[in-house]
A = this chain, B = another copy of it.
């Protein structure tokens, strides 16, 4: 679960000399929201996002629509991009949770991915959500059970062993500190090919743990 496994490889990139108008069309036609700007050898020079394109301040010499049009149609992407020194990037060997942390803390939706200074990909919020979906085996049918357990050593093993003891396969397994109950941990497991009732019956017997949600998905 590393950035290089979930990033978009060979992302669309442009030179700083193309016009903003062209870049904006290019992004629209390819339905992309982030565009790395690169120089020789794919060295990162800057980044533009759809949002960037709108926050660039402008000193207009006139309020004549046609002069504004001329001014804007002459702007290049190099004029408006966020310069490389201000672009937050990530290395291709970083973990996906590190990418998530940066996006959450900086409130940004895309990171250019570098390897020795060269752009080798981009990773976006959507890529990370796709990873989250895989962790939760979202596209596979099964029974999803949330079990609340004390936040202490050995509890997850108890749960996993109980499932394994039945010979059942675990499609997905994850957990977070309980949002409802401090000191507890909510584990989610997803089990395939077993009726819901049997699963509930088995897991109810795990000592010190409580089923808080069950659903067939």
Q: Which A residues form the contact surface with B (CB < 8 A)?
A: 1-2, 5-6, 20-21, 24-25, 28, 31, 50-51, 53-70, 72-73, 95-98, 100-101, 103-104, 107, 109, 125-126, 128-136, 138-139, 144, 146, 152-154, 156-157, 160-161, 163-164, 167-170, 172-177, 179-180, 186, 188, 213, 215, 217
Contact = CB atoms under 8 A, between A and B. Distances in A.
A24 B67 contact: yes
Contacts of A167: 153-154
A54 B98 CA distance: 32
A61 to B, nearest CB: 5
A63 B131 CA distance: 34
Contacts of A177: 134
A169 B153 contact: yes
B174 A173 contact: yes
A73 B73 CA distance: 7
A215 B68 CA distance: 49
Contacts of A50: 51
B161 A157 contact: yes
A167 B6 CA distance: 33
B154 A164 contact: yes
A1 B64 contact: no
Contact of A21 (B24, B55, B66, B131): B66
B163 A132 contact: no
Given A95-B215, A126-B107, A136-B97, A62 B54 contact: yes
A101 B173 CA distance: 17
A24 B66 contact: yes
Given A50-B51, A157-B170, 4 more contacts: A54-B63, A69-B73, A98-B138, A157-B164
A173 B176 contact: no
B24 A53 contact: no
Contacts of A68: 65, 69
